Structure 1
Amino acid sequence: MINLQPYSNPNYFMILLAALLPIMIGLYFGRRLKIYEALFTFSFLVLTFGGDHWHQGVALIIYTIYQVGLTMGFERYRRTKNQTSIFVSTVLLSILPLVIVKFTPLFPNDHSFNIGFLGISYLTFKTVQVIMELRDGTIKEISWQQYLQFLLFFPTISSGPIDRYRRFIKDYDHVPDRKTYLADVDQAVFYLFQGFLYKYILGYIFGTLLLPNVSQAALSQRYALGGTGISWYLLAYMYVYSMYLFFDFAGYSLFAVSISYFMGIKTPMNFNKPFLAHNIKEFWNRWHMTLSFWFRDFIFMRFTFWVMKHHWVKNRVRMSQLAYLVNFLVMGFWHGITWYYIVYGLFHAAAIILNDYWLRYKKKHADQIPHNKWTEGLAIFATFNIVCFSFLIFSGFLNQLWF
């Protein structure tokens, strides 16, 4: 059986675009072919999780049945007397499979909990979001058919972007007029070619041509120096890896958004010139935006409200700092149970807390601090280097140098 990873090679795009034609023709004539879209999704899930990855396919089926049943059960019983206990239990149960998957690598000889599959994190983010918004009342009702379509929307299933249920269903239930759809197709074509530029040209240059060379040179220089001195190749590795990480992931995200637009679904963008950010807070409003905003809404804000409700911290500044720490620590653990992912999360928590101190100081002494194109350039330069250093931590390359 053919097995293709999403957006992995030219053959994949040829099959994908051919399969999209009936959907596009239907939308052009004002109809959404929902049965065909369901068959389209099923076919590409088989291509992704079939063949050698059949065990991931089985895990996806079990996971989907589990999450749909959990969410629909919560939707039915959320207004009972023990609604808080039911809500907390449902959220914990929804993230349980992901927690098991993240902790499984700590037990490399134990394969009994091999329940992971490509995209489990992003599906979990979707389920938690729906459960929390059902609790809040922002989602009034939900059908299992629409929920299934949202959960398994193929262009974004493996690595996002992370859409929101209400926004997705609004697009799914609404067929754009012909003029609007043609504009969407034009945008989709632009994103598709931009994705090719990012992932297959720039990503290839930085990830395949440059990264192995600078990593080997950094390791060689490290051994030659006997663990002393500055490795300039390590600095080169930091910048090259940062560029590769951006172009590879941004390229993938552009593909996902492009295919979504072809299908009449305006999946939100994931990146907005993040390396032009003036500070670390602005960076997180530009980098992997759907993930950043998900953590803001469902970790940072929820933790803040919980602290306020229980009067744990009265000082609002200290409360926000504690929330940042929890937010980025959770993000670090989500990436993986290794020291460099956790340090990466703590690094960004510290950076954003220090940034808040600076912004408050800057506001208080606005008349004493110059603001012009030179200071803006300095802010962008400093933020860029701070971010690149965090990506060096994230890469795990320091682990190779030190251990």
Structure 2
Amino acid sequence: MFMIPYETPYYFVFLAILLIPYVVMMLLGKRMVWYQTLITLFFLYISFAGPHIQQGIALILYLIWQTVLIMSYLGYRKRKNSGVVFYLAVVLAILPLAISKIFPILHIADTLFAFLGISYLTFKSVQMIMETRDGLIKEINVFHLLQFLVFFPTISSGPIDRFRRFEKELNAPVERVKYIELLDKGTFYIFLGFLYNFLISYIINWKLMPHLQGNLLLTGSLKDLLLYMYAYGFNLFFNFAGYSLFAVGTSYLLGYETPMNFHYPFRAESIKDFWNRWHMSLSFWFRDYVYMRLTYLMVKKRWFKNRVTVSNLSYLGLFLLMGLWHGLTWYYVAYGLYHATLIIINDAWIRYKKKRKDKLPSNLLTRGLSIFITFHAVMLGFLIFSGILDKLWFK
């Protein structure tokens, strides 16, 4: 028996049956952590068993690796605070993910070091090491650590939670009124996920996209390119947002307020506003643990005197890393550099507006124009991300 999370109706049947006792006990004011552990093990089994048992083995080895690493660094941090040891711990935490990305390209052990959700578990692990270094995490319960890493609603596609927030809810008493609110929201999000994923995304991905892609590869016309661009962008949103809604909704049913991943991204008035609305848990993770730290490092070491230069280089490093995280291909790298360029231009425009003060109009028309421009800049980025240009240029 093997099921990718939220991929088939059978997964939701298992989810509904197994969550009923948990929901009843939560309504009675009792959080059954032991039962949550059992259903977590069950869903991990059906997600990492069967023909993909090697993923299950990789997951177990990965959890051992990260647990030993995190606990070892915690023990070290209580005594010392060497930067060299910290960076070494971060590199070791990222190493399994790096191997899973690089080895397939080299045709070495394509699946031995990879499993479903390795990226999101790595983000969690690196986050814990960094917050331990900062002194925000001073004690770690190993059982809570494992619960956090393999929290089954979010293991395959996020959102990326924070350990301190998760542990606080894990230990918090259950308030019936609060849980009823979560139950209502969670149920709504799951059904909204059905609309996004199993209806809208299904129609676009299986009924519309093959036809549009076929036409584009045949004609290479601008019209077909634009149609494909819009279809791909909307499909990416509804598919990913649907999975995120499933994850958040299931988390709410378990009594955890996992952060939302999307907030009307196509209403964004600037590219920076877009990244505050799109895949928010990833955007905020990269902001907090890459951009801010890279900027702080360059300022502290005085590598550059101009703060604008420091900020721009941090954006380039951030989005280049984000592109490489998606995959080691030219169009993912181009996608990252493209968005870095847009952010740099956006910041330059903000500085220009501050100099002009009230001389630039701000009204419904200009906001609408901003949304229109941002939307198409984002869609062009999705077109690069799709890899279709690789097929057009090198067919």
Same fold at TM > 0.5? yes
Report the equivalent of 2:183. Answer: 185
Q: Which residue of 1 aligns with 2:64?
A: 65
1:59-99 Cα offsets, whole Å, 9 max, x none, are 00000011001000111111444632221111110000111
Say if 2:251 and 2:257, in contact at 8 Å, map to a contact too.
Answer: yes
Code of the residue aligned with 1:350 in structure 2: it is T
What is residue 197 of structure 2 aligned with on the other side?
Answer: 199
Distance, in Å, in 1 between the alignment partners of 2:148 and 2:62 is: 15
Q: For 2:61 and 2:289, how far apart are their aligned partners in 1?
A: 25
- Asked if 1 retains the 8 angstrom alpha-carbon contact of 2:100 and 2:110, the reply is no
- Residue 269 (1) aligns with residue 260 (2): yes
Equivalent residue in structure 2 for 1:140, among 138, 141, 145 = 138
Measure the CA separation in 2 of the matches of 1:250 and 1:366: 37
Letter in 2 for 1:106: I
Q: Distance in 2 between matches of 1:366 and 1:374?
A: 18
- Which of residues 315, 319, 337 is equivalent to 2:328? 337
Note the residue ranges of structure 2 that are not aligned, 5 or more in a row. Answer: none
Q: Quote how far apart the aligned CAs of 1:105 are.
A: 2.6
User: Is 1:209 matched with 2:207?
Assistant: yes
1:312 aligns with 2:326: no
2:30–2:174 CA contact under 8 A, matched in 1: no
TM (norm. structure 2) is 0.98
In structure 1, the partner of 2:390 is 399
TM superposition shift of 1:178: 1.1
The TM-score, its normalising length taken from structure 1, stands at: 0.96
Shift of 1:324: 0.4
Which range moves more in the overlay, 246-255 or 193-202? 193-202
**1:97 and 1:13, CA in 2 relative to 1: closer, same or farther beyond 3 A?**
same
Distance, in Å, in 2 between the alignment partners of 1:114 and 1:263 is 32
Aligned partner of 1:94: which letter?
A
Structure 1 distance, partners of 2:130, 2:27, is: 36
Determine the C-alpha separation between the residues in 2 that align with 1:389 and 1:242: 9
Mapped to 1, the partners of 2:134 and 2:151 lie a distance apart of 24
Quote how far apart the aligned CAs of 1:207 are. Answer: 1.2
Native 8 Å contact 1:100 1:113 kept in 2 = no
Distance 1:66 1:242, change over 3 A: same
**Alignment of 1:154 onto 2:132:** no
Cα distance in structure 2, aligned partners of 1:396 and 1:197: 27
Residue 33 of structure 2 aligns with which residue?
34
Deviations 1:139-191 (A, max 9, x none): 12111111010001000011100000011111111133111111110011110
Task: Give the aligned partner of residue 247 of structure 1.
Answer: 238
Q: Structure 1: where are the runs of 5+ without partners?
A: 223-229
Report the Cα distance in structure 2 between the residues aligned to 1:112 and 1:29, rounded to whole angstroms: 47
Q: Which moved more, 1:202-211 or 1:254-263?
A: 202-211
Task: Select the residue among 335, 352, 369 that pairs with 2:360.
Answer: 369
Amino acid at match of 2:301: H
Cα distance, 1:212 vs. partner?
0.8
SS for the counterpart of 2:190 is: helix
In 1: Cα distance, 2:35 partner to 2:174 partner:
18
CA distance in 1, matches of 2:285, 2:19: 29
Question: Which stretch shows the higher mean deviation, 392-401 or 171-180?
Answer: 171-180
| Contact 1:27/1:175, CA 8 A, preserved across alignment | no
**Further displaced range: 284-293 or 31-40:** 31-40
Larger mean Cα displacement after TM superposition, 332-341 or 29-38: 29-38
**Structure 1 CA distance, aligned partners of 2:292 and 2:90?**
16
Whole-angstrom distance in 1 between the partners of 2:66 and 2:125: 7
The equivalences for 1:54-133 within 5 A come to 54-81=53-80, 83-108=82-107, 110-111=108-109, 114-133=112-131
Alpha-carbon deviations, 1:366-401, whole Å to 9, x = none? Answer: 322111111111100000000000000000011111
Deviation at 1:25, TM superposition (A): 1.3
CA distance 1:237–1:16, shift in 2 (3 Å): same
The separation in 1 between residues aligned to 2:187 and 2:31, in whole angstroms, is 20
Partner Cα distance (2:157, 2:41) in 1: 18
3-state SS in 1 of match to 2:357 = coil
* Partner of residue 281 from structure 2, selected from 290, 294, 314: 290
Q: 1:138 to 1:82 in 2, by over 3 A?
A: closer
Which residue in the other structure is 2:372 paired with?
381
- What is aligned with 1:390? 381
Report the Cα distance in structure 1 between the residues aligned to 2:40 and 2:328, rounded to whole angstroms.
Answer: 32
Query: Contact 1:171/1:265 (CA < 8 Å) preserved in 2?
Result: yes
Shift in Å, 1:17: 1.1
Q: What are the superposed Cα offsets for residues 106-145 of structure 1, whole Å, 9 maximum, x if unpaired?
A: 212x227731000000000000000000110111211111
Q: Distance in 2 between matches of 1:199 and 1:136?
A: 39
Q: Which deviations, in whole Å up to 9, do the C-alpha atoms of 1:280-308 show, x marking residues without a partner?
A: 00000000000000000000001011111
Runs (4+) off by over 4 Å: none
Give CA deviations for 1:301-330 in whole Å, capped at 9, x if unaligned: 010111111100111111111100000000
Q: Deviations over 1:342-374 (max 9, x none)?
A: 000000000000011011111221322111111
Does the Cα contact within 8 Å between 1:102 and 1:336 map onto a contact in 2?
Answer: yes
Please say if residues 59 and 117 of structure 1, whose CA atoms lie closer than 8 Å, have aligned partners that are also in contact: yes
